A = this chain, B = another copy of it.
């Protein structure tokens, strides 16, 4: 016979309800009985069945983290932060990767509709056109918190960094360094973070009287070969840019690769600044000027907000954006 509450009840000549209450430290059980139950439970190494408990209580103690990928150092750090607060609060973290595919994202999120997880943290895929699978979560009372790649249409909390401001700062930094023509390397064309970074970027250009038409925007993808071809094209054109803002880590690394291939010197021929969370940016050749995102803190913050809403009675999450600032670190790639 398995070690269940029932067994404890029989062995101790108690009712299962009594044992259950004792284990949950209910006030209607005497101290003496509680002590007996706890002692015996410890002795026979009783562990509650999480599924029975989840079934009855309607809560699982699991939270889902849905990410486009995990290769990027940003998401690794974010998972770290999320897991840390989850573990501290007794929650379990389920990780799902969408590989930048909406269909996959939908299938994954639909699976949460029925309470498989108590709450969801998500950084959305780039090509999502509608968000029914996400808004339906709210309908079904499973709270949702966005982080980094957010969707502004939904009524929930988002944790972001100061993307627009950083896009602005990146461009201004290059301009101050003397750049006359700056390319912006976008990732996809409809990601909130990329749009904001681009907005800030263009705002700076306007302020400094740059002609927006002359400062190209490259819309890159997850296809490395394609990206490098695009980057190479622009860097080999006769009036190539002398500055580059990379909107995500990956495209910056690809730019480094291309510069090597076609023997462009950074920062002499071209200056590069990138959004990144790379810990070893200073070890690159040349060291990379970054806008370093607080990935770990963003993960922690997002998880904290989600879990707080789970433990409160009123699980309503306010529609708001929590902003944790990034910091621009100057290194040799823009010297």
- Interfacial chain B residues near A76, Cβ < 8 Å: 70-71, 73, 76
User: In whole angstroms, what is the CA distance A268 to B150 when docked?
Assistant: 48
Cβ–Cβ contact A83 & B96, under 8 A: yes
User: In whole angstroms, what is the CA distance A304 to B4 when docked?
Assistant: 32
User: In whole angstroms, what is the CA distance A49 to B104 when docked?
Assistant: 21
Q: What 0/1 pattern do residues 43 to 87 of A give for CB contact below 8 A with B? A: 000011111101100001010000001110100110110011001
Cβ–Cβ contact B55 & A114, under 8 A: no
User: In whole angstroms, what is the CA distance A93 to B283 when docked?
Assistant: 34
A212 sits at the interface (CB 8 A): no
User: In whole angstroms, what is the CA distance A96 to B88 when docked?
Assistant: 12
Cβ–Cβ contact B113 & A47, under 8 A: yes
Identity of the chain B residue whose Cβ is nearest the Cβ of A4 in the assembled complex: B114
> A283 contacts which of B69, B87, B256 (Cβ < 8 Å)?
B256
Of the candidates A50, A256, A283, the one having the most CB atoms from chain B within 10 angstroms of its own CB is A283
Identity of the chain B residue whose Cβ is nearest the Cβ of A56 in the assembled complex: B51
Cβ–Cβ contact B253 & A283, under 8 A: yes
Cβ–Cβ contact A97 & B92, under 8 A: no
In the complex, what's the smallest C-beta–C-beta distance from A106 to chain B, in angstroms? 13
A12 sits at the interface (CB 8 A): no
A209 sits at the interface (CB 8 A): no
- Interfacial chain B residues near A60, Cβ < 8 Å: 51
Copies in the complex: 2
- Interfacial chain B residues near A320, Cβ < 8 Å: none
User: Chain A: how many interface residues by the 8 Å CB criterion?
Assistant: 44
* Chain A interface main SS type: mixed
- Interfacial chain B residues near A1, Cβ < 8 Å: none
A216 sits at the interface (CB 8 A): no
Identity of the chain B residue whose Cβ is nearest the Cβ of A2 in the assembled complex: B114
Cβ–Cβ contact A70 & B79, under 8 A: yes
Cβ–Cβ contact B62 & A71, under 8 A: no
Cβ–Cβ contact A92 & B93, under 8 A: no
A284 sits at the interface (CB 8 A): yes
- Interfacial chain B residues near A115, Cβ < 8 Å: 49-51
- Interfacial chain B residues near A104, Cβ < 8 Å: 87
> A52 contacts which of B55, B80, B95, B286 (Cβ < 8 Å)?
B55
User: In whole angstroms, what is the CA distance A163 to B111 when docked?
Assistant: 40
User: In whole angstroms, what is the CA distance A96 to B84 when docked?
Assistant: 9
Those of A261-305 within 8 Å (CB) of chain B = 279-280, 283-287
> A51 contacts which of B51, B69, B84 (Cβ < 8 Å)?
B51
User: In whole angstroms, what is the CA distance A13 to B94 when docked?
Assistant: 38
- Interfacial chain B residues near A116, Cβ < 8 Å: 50, 92
20 further contact pairs, Cβ within 8 A, besides A49-B114, A50-B115, A284-B284: A49-B115, A51-B51, A51-B60, A55-B55, A69-B80, A70-B76, A70-B83, A71-B80, A83-B95, A92-B96, A92-B116, A93-B96, A94-B94, A253-B280, A253-B283, A256-B280, A257-B283, A283-B285, A284-B285, A285-B285
